[in-house]
Amino acid sequence: MPDFTDNAVPDASPILEMIDGMRLSKAVFAALELGVFDYLAAKADTCAGVAEALSLKSDALERLLDTCVSVDLLRKQDGVYQTTSLSDTYLVRSSPRSVAGYMLYANRISWRLWEHLEDGLAEGTPRWNQTFGNQADIFSHFFRTEEQKRTFLAGMHGMGQLSSPQVAAAFDLSKHLVVADLGGGTGHLALSICERYPTMRGIVFDLETVTPVTREYLSRAGALDRITVMSGDFFLEALPSADLYCLGRIFHDWSEDRIRQLLRKMHAALPEGGAVLLAEMLLSADKTYPTTALLQSLNMLMCTDGRERSLDEYRALFESEGFTAVQGVITGSVLDAIYAIKSSM
């Protein structure tokens, strides 16, 4: 029998924090979804004023606003609420560094998918159809309307700004002349690489429905003179000519068969000495750490055929398709970096 003397009872705080973590996440998601941060960024106001503007009940809203104050997402003084530098930077949708789109994805998509985690674990398959009905796939859902597409891409852009500079700095890429960002979205990874290496030119390659948005983001960054935008499907069409392919959050979407297909295609297209740079979360060698990557791997179970992987797993994939000198760097940011060089076959 377990020893339940006072000295042997573990602290319950980690368990209780898990319960509160779920509640806090949903509270912030709701505040974001309802427009609280956008409204208060433009105008500090009382709870009654916010409630009237957003068509909410004042008594109920006060609880939500005060919760946001407790985690430094809002300030409250003499009954008047306003945003903080944290929420201004990351939660106000108009901010250039906003991750609001990613959090809206978490609220609208992940939150609902994760209701069926037990079923996903029992069957080992995504819960997309169970949650949203018969739809082709997750990407079709994201691009179903212009608003959904832009929300998704804005979310990826905000998260990319947190990691792309660190991924670009993880390895010495100075020998490369042209980087092609496959499935590059808004082009944040290619842009970070080109900013770090002034002589390098870039290409962002993505679906035709994405590339008009890509051009908008790169135009605002003043980068269209160095970065070309091309439309295409990297599984179905010829890849752009480059000596460095980079891919951010792409491999974790797909099964090993699909990854091997793409690796073979990149190997065939690269010149001798060309390379591939990935921006992905790396699991530890025994795959028990870090928690963020493990949770993301469970998330991929819920919505795709993919998963997060360790460096050893990435090395095995790359080497099986003719790449060598596979290296990984833990960047300390949202995503880590993996680099592999084309070898002679």
Let me know if 188 is a catalytic residue: no
Instruction: State in Å, rounded, how far the first CA of the chain is from the last one.
Output: 61
**Cβ contacts of residue 54 below 8 Å, gap of 6+?**
34, 35, 36, 39, 61
C-alpha separations of 48 from 40, 52, 57 in Å:
13, 6, 8
Helix (H, G, I), strand (E, B) or coil at 147: helix
- Rg of the Cα trace of the chain? 22
> Which conformational region is residue 249 in: left (phi greater than 0), alpha (psi within -120 to 50 degrees), or beta?
left
How many angstroms separate the CA atoms of 220 and 300, rounded?
A: 32
Nearest to 65 by CA among 55, 79, 78, 53: 79
Nearest to 74 by CA among 37, 46, 43: 37
Amino acid symbol at 161: Q
> Which conformational region is residue 275 in: left (phi greater than 0), alpha (psi within -120 to 50 degrees), or beta?
beta
**Cβ contacts of residue 59 below 8 Å, gap of 6+?**
none
Is residue 297 within 8 Å of 314, Cβ to Cβ?
A: no
Per the listing, tokens 């994805």 go with: 105
Task: Choose the catalytic residue: 157, 188, 252, 267.
Answer: 252
Amino acid symbol at 121: L
Structure tokens at 149: 């597409």
How many angstroms separate the CA atoms of 22 and 112, rounded?
A: 13
> Hey, which residues are catalytic here?
252
